[in-house]
Amino acid sequence: MDWTAFLLDLLKVLGGLIVGAIAGFFIARNYMKKYMKKNPPINEQMIKAMMSQMGRTPSQKQVNQMMKTMSKYMD
């Protein structure tokens, strides 16, 4: 049995798995960023509802400020 050929084949397989895992991570990350930008998890109506449940009547300025803060953390 030729051990050098076996070890080379094993290194190729392991290298392919590592490269595939790294590429998969970055592809999934870019996909999720695009998805979150297109479909944000929170919108103005949700912020208004949250603030009104807390007993506050939000102004449009406060809602805009909250949206700006949320979008900063989404990027």
**pLDDT one-digit tens code per residue, 8-60:** 999 999 999 999 999 999 999 999 989 988 887 888 888 888 888 998 888 89
Confidence of residue 74 (pLDDT cuts 50, 70, 90): low
**What is the pLDDT at residue 14?**
97
Contact criterion met (CB below 8 Å) for 61 and 33: no
* Mean pLDDT (whole number) for 61-68: 88
Q: Where are the domains of the chain?
A: 43-75
Contact criterion met (CB below 8 Å) for 43 and 66: no
Higher confidence at residue 68 or residue 14? Answer: 14
Q: How many CA atoms lie within 13 A of 36 on its CB side?
A: 12
**What is the pLDDT at residue 75?**
60
